[in-house]
Amino acid sequence: MNELMKKITDFRDERGWSAYHNEKDLAVSILIEASELLENFQWKTSEEAVSDSFQNIKEEMADVLIYLMQLADRMNIDLEEEACKKLEKNAVKYPIDRGLRGE
Residues that bind a second copy (CB under 8 A): 1, 3-4, 7-8, 11, 14-17, 20, 22-25, 27-32, 34-46, 49-50, 54, 57-59, 61-66, 68-69, 71-72, 75, 77, 79-80, 82-87, 89-91, 94, 96, 99-103
Q: How far is CA 38 from CA 15, 50, 64, 100, in A?
A: 29, 11, 11, 24
Q: How far is the CB of 1 from a second copy (least distance, A)?
A: 5
Q: For residues 11 and 25, give the distance between their C-alpha atoms in angstroms, rounded to a whole number.
A: 18
Give me the helix-helix angle, 2-14 and 46-74, nearest 10°. Answer: 70
Angle (nearest 5°) at CA 103 between 93 and 59: 145
Q: How far is the CB of 12 from a second copy (least distance, A)?
A: 10
